[in-house]
Chains A and B, each alone.
Chain A
Amino acid sequence: MHFDSWQAFWEMGDYGLFVWLAFGVSLLALLVLCIDTLLAKRGLFAKVQSEVARKQRIQQAQIAQKASQKAAQQSAQQSASQRSTDMEVERVNES
């Protein structure tokens, strides 16, 4: 080591403020860049996930919609056939 003590190392021959300011800000800038990169990656992964979940929800909603439509149709048919049997019964009664 070039310096005699840690004290001397931090003082940098009275230029400590400038040397550590330069190195500190540089490392901070690099750190900010790294954090930004990692956060962006996490955000993109979350976006893909939410997109997948949204597609699944749409699919399920479509299936549910089709099922309810079918049920409605069936019940409509049933009530229609019920009415026709009622009418037939009436006709028989009349005759």
Chain B
Amino acid sequence: MWKWLHPYAKTERAYQLCQTLFPWFALSALVSFSGGLMWGLAFAPTDYQQGDSFRIIYIHVPSAILSMSAYAAMAIAAFIGLVWQVRTTFMAMMALAPIGATITFIALFTGAAWGKPMWGTWWVWDARLTSELILLFLYLGVISLYKSFEDKQQAGKAAGVMALVGVVNLPVIHYSVEWWNTLHQGATITKFGKPSIAPEMLWPLLLSLLGLALVMAAIFLLRMQNEILRREIHRPWVVALVNGQIDKTAGQK
């Protein structure tokens, strides 16, 4: 069933796949992300309680949701790498980690900028905020653990185990607003049943969620290529690829 997937464990095939997919992802990301943000910032109606400060939702909620999705993706990559000894998925893990860290930072920062006018404080040690901060530290931990090993195969395994252990934090983040009586509000769209938000506000939110996901995917494709190059730098196909690229640019001139 999974046989069609096997050739992509080869780094050369994976690199080429990233190359073909990138323009599509970059284009759709640009269109949907800018569309979603503009729709949310300029066209969605004002919230009757929070006024226009609620518009931070159009970057805060997508980044918060995707910071967890990226972690889950990273952990799945780590799991595949550890169980089936696939080198390429460790590269995917390390391509995802900095993206996830950036998105988590965005979720925390926009939350602070929203908390100041609404709660009257930039930061509280609330369960949701604290567990999201731990998620940022987990990302940074995976990155620094990987960097601290000279042997990158060992590094992948060690960082992979850390990424897997950190998965326990994901349900904690998600259910923190239910398990503890905290300042942060409960789930609005990521719950069973009807989302508790007006459709005119929900649609731009879903569009910017899709947009940010595509932005992350596009950056992932580029970083995955970098990660492959970094590990395979002495391979003949990499040398041929770089030489080919030079010939191409020389031909354009």
Give the interface of A toward B (CB within 8 A). Answer: 1-3, 9, 12-15, 18-19, 21-23, 25-26, 29-30, 32-34, 36-38, 40-41, 44-45, 47-49, 51-52
Q: When each residue 140-157 of chain B gets 1 if its CB lies under 8 Å from chain A and 0 otherwise, what string results? A: 000000000000000000
Cα distance A43–B56 in the bound complex, in angstroms: 36
B109 touches A22 (CB 8 A): yes
Cα distance A1–B110 in the bound complex, in angstroms: 24
Cα distance A20–B113 in the bound complex, in angstroms: 9
B109 touches A51 (CB 8 A): no
B242 touches A49 (CB 8 A): yes
Chain B contacts for A48, CB-based, 8 A = 229, 233, 238-239, 242
Q: Does chain A have a CB within 8 A of B173?
A: no
Cα distance A51–B229 in the bound complex, in angstroms: 13
| B166 shortest CB reach to chain A, Å | 21
| B47 shortest CB reach to chain A, Å | 10
Contact residues of B: prevailing secondary structure: helix
One of A23, A37, A51 near B223 (C-beta < 8 A): A37
Cα distance A88–B10 in the bound complex, in angstroms: 72
Cα distance A29–B60 in the bound complex, in angstroms: 13
B43 touches A37 (CB 8 A): no
Query: Which 6 pairs across A and B sit closest by C-beta, in order of nearness?
Result: A15-B53, A13-B52, A22-B113, A12-B52, A22-B110, A48-B242
Chain B contacts for A47, CB-based, 8 A = 233
Q: Could you show 11 A-B contacts with beta carbons less than 8 Å apart?
A: A2-B44, A2-B45, A14-B51, A22-B109, A23-B56, A37-B219, A40-B223, A41-B222, A44-B226, A49-B246, A52-B239
Cα distance A38–B225 in the bound complex, in angstroms: 11
Q: When each residue 187-230 of chain B gets 1 if its CB lies under 8 Å from chain A and 0 otherwise, what string results? A: 00000000000000000000000000001000100110110011
Q: Does chain A have a CB within 8 A of B77?
A: no
Chain A contacts for B114, CB-based, 8 A = 18, 22
Residue among B52, B114, B219, B243 with the highest chain A CB neighbour number at 10 A: B52
